[in-house]
Structure 1
Amino acid sequence: MITLTQKETSLLQDSKKQEEICIEKYERYSSEASDPQLQDLFRQLGSKEREHLNSINQILSGTVPNVNAGGQGNQQQMQQQMQQKMQAMPQLQAQSAVSGNQSKSDAYLCTDALSTEKHVSAVYDTAIFEFKDASIRQVLNHIQKEEQEHGEKIYNYMAQHGMYN
């Protein structure tokens, strides 16, 4: 059982709120996006954010989650699935003509999601330096790394679809 300082608890509460916002956004954005590939990306990212929220809740309840068990394989599988979908993209684009408004809407969703990921990563950056327990810092560092990977996936999608200038 771990004991948290008031400051550590406050930082975790902030992180918890950010994860809840991410989950809400990705659930909403997956239904609002017009591109099925983007819908799937948002669903996958939302699922990872839910894992982050669970980790934060475990720490708040006094236990340190094991972030290394099984996560690497799932991450590699998720990356492989996204690469396959990106490779299939030319066929998908040829099959469906997306209107300019839908494309602008998807670009807005991506821009907002990328901005959110940048912010959340910064929240974790601050928190990492404030925890005395090395195992908690490791969990927070793991989450921050995944947040950065989320940003990279969104950026890659945007770059492939001409949304990032």
Structure 2
Amino acid sequence: MQVQLSQKEQMFLEDLKSHEELCIQKYSKYANEAECSNLKQIFQTLASHEQQHYDTINQMIAGQAPSMSQGQGQQSQGMQQQGQGMQQQGQGMQGMSGTQSQGSKNYSQNDFNMVNDMLSTEKYISGTYDTAIFEFQDKNLRQALNHIQKEEQEHGEELFNYMKSHGMYNVQ
């Protein structure tokens, strides 16, 4: 279905496209630099998801309402399961090493900086999608943007769970 975009909608999509492009670049770069193999995998997976978002935004810029297929929902479910597994694995690692003292850590500063940067980036991008959703006239485009925003939130949750399970995020 062909959709006529307003100038404002077009501008929002161009902004979202540049955000997705930046995420792809950062996740790909960080996947190569991460010391933890689990974090490398998370970054690679999320880079792939951001590429899908980028492609969807390009489709919308071309005036096409994307179809939100079942495959994308299953992908989100798989990410949640992967994130839960990482969290359980991290808890197990803490149990093996005994109770950690306040000053000890089981991660590299470089990995912390990268995952913290990406969590901040995901928070920002999710907010950008939130604003954009309210500016679109077409229901199908709003649903597509809402779907992407939900996935961005899931990315943030996965990064948060990784940080928490590795002692990078103290929730007290």
Is the structural similarity TM-score above 0.5?
yes
1:21 match: 22
**How far does residue 85 in structure 1 lie from its aligned partner after superposition?**
4.5
Unaligned runs of 5+ in 2: 97-104
Equivalence map 1:32-47=2 (5 Å): 32-47=33-48
Q: Give the secondary-structure state (helix, strand or coil) at the position aligned to 1:80.
A: helix
Counterpart-to-counterpart distance in 2, 1:118 and 1:84: 23
**2:168 partner amino acid:** M
2:57 match: 56
Unaligned runs of 5+ in 1: 95-99
**How far does residue 69 in structure 1 lie from its aligned partner after superposition?**
2.8
Equivalence map 1:16-165=2 (5 Å): 16-89=17-90, 90=92, 103-165=108-170
**2:124 partner amino acid:** H
Counterpart-to-counterpart distance in 2, 1:119 and 1:88: 28
Counterpart-to-counterpart distance in 2, 1:81 and 1:126: 29
**2:115 partner amino acid:** C
Percent identity reads 48
Q: Give the secondary-structure state (helix, strand or coil) at the position aligned to 1:56.
A: helix
Choose between structure 1 and 2: higher helix proportion. Answer: 1
Counterpart-to-counterpart distance in 1, 2:119 and 2:27: 11
Question: Could you state the TM-score of these two structures normalised by the residue count of structure 1?
Answer: 0.89
Q: Give the secondary-structure state (helix, strand or coil) at the position aligned to 2:70.
A: coil
Counterpart-to-counterpart distance in 2, 1:48 and 1:137: 19
Question: Could you state the TM-score of these two structures normalised by the residue count of structure 2?
Answer: 0.85
